[in-house]
Amino acid sequence: MQLSEIIPWGRSFSEYAAMFALSETDSRLRILGCGDGPASFNAELTAAGGTVVSVDPLYAFVAADIADRFEQTAPTIMSQLRQTESEWVWRNHANPDALLRNRRVALGRFLEDFESGRAAGRYLPAALPDLPFSDGAFQLALCSHLLFLYSLILSEQFHVSSALELCRVAGEVRIFPLLTLAHERSPHLPAVCRAVTERGWRAQVVRVDYEFQPGGNEMLLIQRA
């Protein structure tokens, strides 16, 4: 897939749970979702009694504008998916049409929750590598489909600075996926692992029960050594 910019393509709680190997215990932690976009993760986890804050520059806009942005970008994504259908793993989504339906369901749940969630401080317009939180404000930080995926758009220094910032605000960091849009392991992964380990953290690649890109079933787990 070829993209020239980051797109608002949100995912559900069940997808987050699979991508990040979230346990019941994890779901009770203070969680930061970084670059969540129009995902329903925050809405669903909050409804289940969880504590989560999502950050994304997208949240500076009103709900109608976010919905319009989704509809503007969806045709580009779907066209490329249909042209390369055999190059994806259709286990979590039956086919491209099912994927689009699932994305719209997640978007709908997000939009229903967005205004009240923004008023409650659960959706904040912020972005890596500078987050508006104190040191250790969260127990777990999740970064979905931003770091590594957009390696051709975001520099190695951006990745390193962002990973260190996530480590600053959370006691544990999980990043998914580790592949670029070209289905290749991100060239920035070694630099990120080196940077965090040099500062006393442990970085390891962990296999997870989610795969849409072939071979894209791994996350980076960063914990205090």
For residues 199 and 164, the answer to whether their CB atoms sit within 8 Å is yes
For residues 39 and 123, the answer to whether their CB atoms sit within 8 Å is no
Task: Tell me the two tokens of residue 79.
Answer: 């066209």
Name 178's bridge partners: none
The residue ranges of every structural domain in the chain are 16-224
pLDDT at 34 exceeding the cut of 70: yes
pLDDT of residue 6: 76
Condensed to tens digits (0 to 9), the pLDDT of residues 137-179 reads: 999 999 999 999 999 999 999 999 999 999 999 999 999 999 9
For residues 174 and 33, the answer to whether their CB atoms sit within 8 Å is no
Q: Does domain 16-224 have CATH number 3.40.50.150?
A: yes
In angstroms, rounded to a whole number, what is the distance separating the alpha carbons of residues 8 and 37? 5
Entry pTM: 0.95
Burial class from Cβ neighbours inside 10 Å (0-12, 13-18, 19+) for residue 26 reads middle
